[in-house]
């Protein structure tokens, strides 16, 4: 009898262990998700899971986090108390495998969108790019685009040159690193300077990954070749780090001869508060790489003299207001807490002491969302949209958007128009959605809006059709 009982207990123990190790994702989906998303994932009260459209981030990481922590502002509950991590993982795998087997294809961008003010034409302007990152406009006929793997590309008269510009710097194209931003000097027509931001690596040590940090250079382009390179910013080599995340980085100019760029905290969150380290900061130099005499920490012992602000987690958007000169910045929060900030000399923007976000585990980074001595964001998003590149609209095609901030989003695949005044955000309008991971945006000399996307690697062109008419509503 004892042996039979032991055998039965062993069978039950194995069955329980197997159930714990391999939960049934389909059964769990039908128990917890089908009432909103449909029994066949076709949608219902909530979005379809098999139409190729992911409004809140594609990929297993985003899907898993959305199930675990919910999207509470839209009514989706968090399931972290109802399911184990293994069960949530099984549901995510079931959803993604079902979408794959259904042959879901993301729809092409619309040919036209309607905003509050305009009918806007959307053209698939340039395609077949490899993970494009930044865009710049040397003149009315030429566009420069960076590809993260390390190529700098020309678009001439609307046609992508099949050959990359030769001789650009070697980059560490691993993780989130690579060739990032490109910018042209405000006096480009006379001096020809082009600026690049990229992840720069030191030689490897035995058994260790190559330490890396963001670097800024400038050079000229002659006969489709990169020439006359000058290093403008290279961090102290002891500050280089082995991580492959949070490099920043955007490059913008003001009308006083200053160049601003940002370096993310590289995954070492406490470094953002340490002025002896370059990461987690917005920096200011002159266009020749020299340090402005009025930089806030230039005379502080041990501080990196180019630091302009600190406590910035991972800024991938910078833009200078065309009229008042305020520097606007967008930075990624963790899970929640994406921010728009107005960056001012010497100010602390809080990370990780103050944040509206949580760690990806759901645990608190900090209990504080505000604190004396720390500047609050002009706007934040919770949940995160994965806010990225920005630009102020200063063209002639959309006069009602004059000096509005164009804001991109990676996870939510969006372009927004954000109306600002002084240092405040007054209103935001979502004008384009589900068009691929929106990485950067720029206003061309023709007044059109050029939107850089990943997955697919492309540039969309938004141009004026006509103004919206409201006579029928009067």
CA distance 238 to 84: 42
For residues 359 and 305, the answer to whether their CB atoms sit within 8 Å is no
CA-closest candidate to residue 386, choices 432, 329, 335: 335
The DSSP string of 380-418 is EESS---EEEEEE--SSS-GGGTTPEEEEETTTTEEEEE
Catalytic residue among 246, 271, 283, 321: 246
* Distance from chain centroid for Cα 423: 22
CA atoms of 383 and 374, how far apart (whole Å): 22
- Of 255, 262, 267, nearest to 233 by C-alpha is 262
Gap between the Cα atoms of 375 and 163, Å rounded: 45
Catalytic residue status for 69: no
Instruction: For Cα atoms 37, 43, 45, give the angle at the middle one, nearest 5 degrees.
Output: 70
According to DSSP, residue 13 is labeled H
Given a contact cutoff of 8 angstroms between Cβ atoms, the answer to whether 165 and 220 are in contact is no
Extract the tokens encoding 284. Answer: 């200011």
Report the distance separating Cα 73 and Cα 325, nearest Å.
Answer: 35
For the chain, state the CA radius of gyration. Answer: 24
Give exposure, 32-62, as e/b (b: 16+ Cβ within 10 Å): bbeeebbeebeeeebbbbbbebbbbbbeeeb
Please state whether beta strands 251-253 and 258-263 pair in parallel, antiparallel, or not at all (unpaired): antiparallel
The answer to whether 320 and 329 have CB atoms below 8 angstroms apart is no
281-286 vs 258-263, strand pairing mode: antiparallel
**E strands of 205-275, at which residues?**
212-222, 225-234, 251-253, 258-263
- The answer to whether residues 384 and 392 touch, using CB atoms and an 8 Å cutoff, is no
Q: How many C-alpha atoms does 194 have within 13 Å on its Cβ side?
A: 29
Residues belonging to the active site: 246
């Amino acid at each position: 009898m004892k042996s039979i009982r032991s055998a039965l207990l062993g069978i039950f123990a194995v069955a329980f262990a197997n159930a714990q190790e391999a939960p049934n994702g389909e059964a769990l989906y039908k128990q917890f998700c089908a009432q909103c998303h449909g029994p066949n994932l076709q949608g219902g009260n909530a979005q379809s899971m098999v139409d190729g459209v992911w409004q809140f981030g594609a990929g297993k990481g985003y899907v898993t986090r959305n199930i675990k922590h919910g999207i509470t502002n839209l009514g989706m509950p968090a399931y972290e108390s109802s399911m184990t991590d293994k069960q949530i993982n099984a549901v995510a795998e079931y959803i993604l495998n079902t979408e794959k087997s259904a042959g879901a294809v993301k729809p092409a961008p619309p040919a036209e969108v309607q905003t509050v003010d305009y009918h806007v034409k959307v053209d698939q302007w340039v395609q077949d790019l490899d993970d494009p990152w930044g865009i710049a406009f040397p003149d009315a006929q030429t566009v420069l685009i960076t590809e993260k793997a390390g190529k700098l590309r020309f678009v001439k008269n609307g046609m992508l040159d099949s050959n990359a510009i030769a001789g650009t710097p070697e980059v560490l194209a691993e993780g989130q690193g690579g060739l990032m931003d490109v910018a042209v000097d405000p006096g480009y027509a006379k001096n020809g300077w082009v600026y690049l931001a990229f992840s720069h690596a030191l030689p490897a040590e035995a058994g260790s990954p190559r330490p890396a940090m963001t670097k800024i250079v400038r050079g000229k382009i002659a006969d489709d070749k990169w020439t006359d390179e000058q290093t403008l910013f290279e961090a102290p080599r002891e500050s280089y780090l082995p991580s492959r995340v949070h490099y920043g980085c955007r490059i913008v100019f003001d009308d006083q001869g200053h160049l601003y760029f940002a370096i993310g905290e590289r995954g070492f969150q406490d470094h953002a508060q340490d002025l002896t380290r370059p990461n987690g900061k917005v920096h200011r130099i002159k266009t020749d790489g020299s340090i402005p005499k009025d930089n806030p920490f230039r005379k502080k012992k041990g501080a990196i003299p180019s630091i302009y602000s600190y406590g910035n987690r991972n800024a991938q958007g910078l833009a200078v207001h065309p009229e008042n000169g305020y520097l606007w910045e967008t930075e990624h929060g963790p899970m929640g807490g994406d921010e728009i900030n107005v960056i001012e000399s010497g100010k602390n923007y809080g990370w990780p002491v103050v944040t509206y976000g949580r760690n990806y585990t759901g645990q608190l980074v900090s209990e504080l969302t505000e604190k004396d001595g720390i500047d609050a964001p002009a706007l934040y998003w919770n949940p995160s949209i994965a806010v990225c590149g920005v630009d102020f609209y200063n063209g002639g095609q959309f006069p009602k958007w004059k000096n509005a901030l164009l804001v991109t989003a990676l996870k939510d695949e969006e372009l927004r128009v954000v109306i600002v005044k002084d240092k405040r955000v007054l209103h935001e309008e979502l004008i384009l959605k589900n068009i691929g991971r929106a990485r950067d945006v720029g206003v061309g000399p023709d007044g059109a809006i050029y939107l850089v996307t990943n997955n697919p690697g492309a540039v969309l062109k938004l141009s004026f059709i006509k103004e919206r008419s409201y006579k029928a509503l009067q």
